[in-house]
Amino acid sequence: MKRLGILISGRGSNFEAIAGNVASGALPAEIAVVISNRTDARGLETALSRGLNAVCLPSKGLDREVYDRRLAAELHKHDVDLVCLAGFMRLLSAGFIREFPERILNIHPSLLPAFPGLDAQHQALAHGVKITGCTVHFVDEDLDAGPIVIQAAVPVRDDDTEETLSERILKQEHRIYSEAIGIVIAGKYRIDGRRVIFT
């Protein structure tokens, strides 16, 4: 069984969806550890209530390199095969990314390369797109820019607010993140240039 390390900063609703799929057997993996960089992340309680290892590793005031070394050490300690960012609100250093080559996934609430960065749903509404969505991608040294594993399209409605749009996107996030993790841990892909080809 491949071992997942899940990084959160808040509620971690994607973590909850992954945990549900692991518990049901739909995702054949083990959650080795859930790590939050914030002490008040609600996802930590969820992890504990599910009997998972939950670690709080506060990042406040720490230098990025120093923090990332601690984070990597914690993940290695739990023998993590794949790192899954689930609303982890920090940029990772190049050193951290080199430590887990092709072994860090992120989910982003837009059809990348459109609307990278913060407030993707707000960006989508302000730009007036009629279709947005979400993207699971490998993490590389650029923001929201690594090779794309899965995307899902979501319609934008005329009466959408950030909340209603975010909710509609989140449903798809919960579906595709587990699907992408399944493909990656099974090794059922190869990377050709920027393209992730399923094998």
- Interface with a second copy (CB under 8 A): 111-115, 125-131, 133, 147-153, 158, 193-198
Which is the catalytic residue, given 78, 108, 127, 137? 108
CB of 23 to a second copy, least distance (A): 27
CB of 94 to a second copy, least distance (A): 21
Nearer to a second copy among residue 95 and residue 113 (C-beta): 113
Judged by DSSP in three states, 148 sits in: strand
Nearer to a second copy among residue 25 and residue 158 (C-beta): 158
Q: How far apart are CA 25 and CA 20, in angstroms?
A: 9
Under DSSP, the state recorded for 93 is P
Strand positions, DSSP E, 139-193: 148-155, 189-192
Checking DSSP bridges between strand 189-192 and strand 195-198, what pairing results, if any? antiparallel
38 CB-near residues (< 8 Å, 6+ apart): 9, 10, 56, 58, 59
CB of 162 to a second copy, least distance (A): 13
Nearer to a second copy among residue 26 and residue 131 (C-beta): 131
108 is catalytic: yes
Which residues does the annotation mark as catalytic? 108
